[in-house]
Amino acid sequence: MRFREILRLTFINIRESKLKVFLTSLGVIVGAATIILVVAVGHGGEVQVQDEYKTLNAGSIHISVSTQAEMEDQMIGRMPGGGAGGSPGGSQERGPQAGNGGAAAGGGSFGGRSGGGFSAGGFPGFSRAQSSAISLSSSDVDDISNLVSGLSEISLYTTGTASVNGGLLEEESDYTVVGASADYLNMCNLELLEGDFITDDDESGKNKVAVIGYTLAQDIFGSAYAAYGDTLSIEGKTYEIIGVLNKMGSVSSGTSPDDSLFIPYSTASKYVYGRETEPQIMAVASDVSEVPDKISAIKEVLSEDHPNANFTVTDAGNALESATSSAKTLSMLLLAVAVLVFIVGGIGIMNVMFVSVKERTQEIGILKALGTSRHAILLEFLFEATFISVLGGVVGIAAGFALIPVVRLSGMTVEPLMESGIYAMIFAAGTGTIFGFYPAWKASRLTPIEALAQE
């Protein structure tokens, strides 16, 4: 039998069983649509992570004085039965959150301030007086800058909450206020929508100027553009808004530069936080691959300057890597679900093909009696199974892309990839070929006498 005739018989059988073909392909349709959606959801998760962490500088390192709770965790970790603890000289955390006051490990470094005291019990070697006296300063910045090579930028910053009033606010409200230097803009990859960021002159003169986040500007002034050039009150003192940040999105701590105010570090230390200022240091490694070495070197310098202190040193790159890895893991799990759906659909195709072989046994006997080879019989049934699967794949791909706008209505970040259509089609064709082979092989092995004798 010629190849063209095999295809003709295949299409005749499919055309005469439209409903059966549709029902048989349902599993593949669902599988193909699932692949389109899970790839879109998985890729959307990765895009969302990249968006949320876009203020991260992969080479940035954040240093803060460890809080009492952090040192308790470290002490428990070193006790018998506890987890791996940090060294006495400092601890290196690689989670998405770190440091004093819930500051993000990413470039944003926002959040409330935490207390710095110890409980009455305390820890061996650390007294309440020692803990309260320990604070990072410009001398620590100078020491790190001079003794640790390979740092492109380094500066002090502080973050916490303060009472803010002005604009459309009817009463004072607490918002995140970050005391930062002029370098903070580039170190955290922040972008200005309008105006300027804090300058060195603002820092040296303790000027009462502020840069406001996009969302906060909308909340207080009604629009981001209306905030520029206006004034607001922070802890009872008036600040001029010299800049408005572009919308940046959230960061790992759950807060965002969009919801924060930025003022000169010296101004924050003098007028906002006073003695409660909890300075932190941000440094940027010139070479991202050397970040672990720089962290070790920074710890060594700090342990020499403050032998009785415990410091939390974190790097932003690992936070992004961890979050991206989690998103990819989710994608793989979702893809595994889609593969299982295909397997179920393939089993359905196999069952239907066995039934089809049983129903057409006499047809097979006639074809064999006319001289049709086993190879031709196998191809006829195999083409039929593959066509059903490919047809289901095409319909499923179309359905998957059509459902993406519906999924977006749930608030999920969904980013479709055209490559997912190729993956779905490969799975569909493979499913029909693999699961249809055995029934086709069984049909080809029937003898003419055996086949014609079947009722």
Tens digit of pLDDT for each residue in 79-97?
Answer: 444 443 333 333 333 333 3
**Radius of gyration, alpha carbons of the chain:** 33
Q: List residues bridging with 93 in a β-sheet.
A: 314
**Structure-token pair, residue 386:** 């593959």
**Residue 424: how many other CB atoms lie within 10 Å:** 25
Please tell me whether residue 232 adopts helix, strand or coil conformation: strand
Mapping DSSP to helix (H, G, I), strand (E, B) and coil, where does residue 354 land?
Answer: helix
Interacting residues of 25 by C-beta distance below 8 A, sequence separation 6+: 345, 349, 388, 389, 391, 392, 395
The 10 Å CB-count burial string (b at 16+, else e) for 59-92 is bbbbbbbbbbebbebbbeeeeeeeeeebeebbbb
d(C-alpha 92, C-alpha 86), whole Å = 7
Does position 302 have pLDDT exceeding 80, yes or no? yes
Tally of CA atoms within 13 A in the half-sphere of 320 that contains its CB: 20
pLDDT digits (tens, 9 = 90+) for 369-379: 777 778 888 88
HSE (side-chain half, CA atoms, 13 Å) at 270? 12
pLDDT value at residue 444: 80
Give residue limits of the domains in the chain: 3-51+323-453, 67-309
Output the pLDDT for position 207. Answer: 94
CA-to-CA distance for 413 and 398, rounded, in angstroms? 20
Q: Quick one: CA dihedral 194, 200, 201, 202, positive or negative?
A: positive
pLDDT at 322: 64
Residue 86: predicted pLDDT:
39
* Rounded-to-integer distance, Cα 383 and Cα 347, Å: 16
Angle between the N-to-C axes of helices 374-408 and 418-444, in degrees from 0 to 180, rounded to the nearest 10: 150
DSSP line for 164-204:
EE-TT-SS-EEEEEEEE-TTHHHHTT--EEEE----HHHHH
pTM above 0.95, yes or no: no
d(CA 56, CA 78): 31
User: pLDDT tens digits, residue range 230-269?
Assistant: 999 999 999 999 999 998 765 544 457 888 999 999 999 9
Percent of the chain residues past pLDDT 70, beyond the cut: 76
Characterize 103-129 residue by residue with b for buried, 16 or more Cβ atoms within 10 angstroms of its Cβ, and e for exposed: bbbbbbbbbebbebebeeeeeeebeee
DSSP of 34-82: HHHHHHHHHHHHHHHHHHHTTT--TTEEEEEEPPHHHHHHHHHHHSTT-
Express each pLDDT in 97-124 by its tens digit: 333 333 333 334 444 333 333 333 333 3
126: confidence class by pLDDT, cuts 50, 70, 90: very low
User: C-alpha distances in angstroms, 413 versus 31, 34, 56, 401?
Assistant: 21, 16, 20, 14
Nearest to 339 by CA among 424, 432, 435: 424
